[in-house]
Amino acid sequence: MIETGSTAVVTGASSGIGEQFARQLAARGVNLVLIARNEVRLQSLTDQLKTAHRDLGVTVMTADLSVPTAAAELTEKLTATGVTVDMLVNNAGFGSHNLFVDEDPDNVAREIQLNCGSLVALTARLLPGMLARGRGGVLNVASTAAFQPIPTMAVYAASKAFVLSFTEALWGETRGSGVRVLALCPGATETRFFEVTGKEFMTHGRQTPELVAGVGLRAFDSGHGPSVVSGLANRMLANGYRFLPRGAMMRFARTNVRAARTQPA
């Protein structure tokens, strides 16, 4: 369990699941380092948290983690401020929804860097200190997209499969160290994710960011590992893919994320 008075770094904290991680950790008395690109949203969240929890320490760091050098620059700033990081929540990420041949190659590179590269880089820089102290943990946000390839979301699904595999391997490496490692795999959630893709899909059964963050923190508290899927229906779907032939799995996955048809004006 993350203790009162400890410090958690949360990436992608300006909205959605990341914001809910920040709110729920703040309610536990956990000091925060909030990271996102949108300084206005981060500052607004900080003001709200400090009003609700007057003794809470909150540090805001704006950064674009789709830039390869961002993780190193952030950890240098953390070192300079003397902050000891007890928990890292790698939540920042985005997805695209197109045939791969129609994707902007530069956007694909940013997606991989944010979803995978910076997640690994931050973990690589902050995990050694946790292991040396024998406490703390890393919670990486993957997705139910990690459990199967998804045509029209090829890069996103592959990036989340990487996150899941990487995190589960770290869990195996850190067992018995006092450091907890967990991959949280949400299904469709009411966040800005769909706005960023520019497509409307998976409109039914979306979970709330509050629920998803709560599932992640409860699993982290319990030492559950190496991964947890939020929601019974999502767990059944994620496990069910194991029993489908690969071709049928991809056809089903593509149908599941098919963009809604727009109605003529």
Q: Which of 50, 160, 199, 241 is an active site residue?
A: 160
Question: The tokens of 132 are what?
Answer: 């040396």
Assigned token pair, 191: 């966040």
Q: What beta strand segments (E) does the chain contain?
A: 7-11, 31-36, 58-62, 87-90, 137-141, 180-185, 227-229
> Per the residue annotation, which of 77, 156, 199, 241 is the catalytic one?
156
Q: How many residues are there in the chain?
A: 265
Active site residue 160: yes
**135 in Cβ contact with 180 (< 8 Å):** no
Amino acid at 98: N
| Dihedral sign for Cα atoms in the order 226, 36, 115, 245 | positive
Active site residues: 156, 160
